[in-house]
Amino acid sequence: MKHCKLAIVFLLAAMVAGCGQSSTSNATAASEQLDKVKQDTAQTAQDMKTYTYAQKDEFVKNMQIELDKLNQELADLSAKIDRASDTAKADAKPKLDALKVQIAALGVDLDKAKNATESTWEDVKTGAQKALDDTTEAFKEAGQWIDKQLGS
């Protein structure tokens, strides 16, 4: 299922890239899309803080949605960098690699949330929430840095 979603995302990205829009309008649209994802993620992160153990399945579902959004955002940031100069690409590689590590760690936290018991729920939920908040902030900073590097 995850691979199917990624394939759809890449197909959509390819369609958007090939629509004949200018690079300025593509950059603007991508920037607006990133802003929307950031706002949605921030709201969901706030909402996730109040889940009880009885709502664990809903928490896990919403966290998976956020993880999918962050994976999409990573793909968008990578696509932006692919269009950049070789220097910007080299500078951005460590930042993108760090984001990949954070997403992988967030995936581990998601697995912990799926397997949490009632006695471990609060600690697991708190850890997952912190990981999501930290990852969201890292994406925000990376997006701003990339926009600055590209002059967007």
Domain assignment present for 22 = no
The b-or-e profile of 92-106 (16+ CB within 10 A means b, else e) is: beebbeebeebbeeb
Domain assignment present for 61 = yes
Please give the residue range of the domain that contains residue 120.
27-150
Q: How confident is the model at residue 152 (pLDDT cuts 50, 70, 90)?
A: low
Domain assignment present for 104 = yes
Domain assignment present for 126 = yes
Report the distance separating Cα 73 and Cα 87, nearest Å: 22
Q: Would you tell me how many other CB atoms lie within 10 Å of the CB of residue 117?
A: 9
The whole-number pLDDT of residue 4 equals 36
The whole-number pLDDT of residue 12 equals 37
The whole-number pLDDT of residue 50 equals 78
The whole-number pLDDT of residue 27 equals 56
Domain assignment present for 6 = no
Contact 48, 20 (CB under 8 A): no
Q: How far is CA 43 from the centre of its chain?
A: 14
Counting the structural domains of the chain, the total is 1
Domain assignment present for 86 = yes
Domain assignment present for 7 = no
Report the percent of the chain where pLDDT is more than 90.
Answer: 53
Q: Report the CATH number that the domain containing residue 98 is assigned in CATH.
A: 1.20.120.330
Domain assignment present for 1 = no
Q: How confident is the model over 41-79, as pLDDT tens digits?
A: 666 655 556 789 999 999 999 999 999 999 999 999 999
Burial of residue 90, with CB atoms counted within 10 A of its CB: 0-12 exposed, 13-18 middle, 19 or more buried = exposed
Backbone angles phi, psi at 43, to 5 degrees: -65, -45
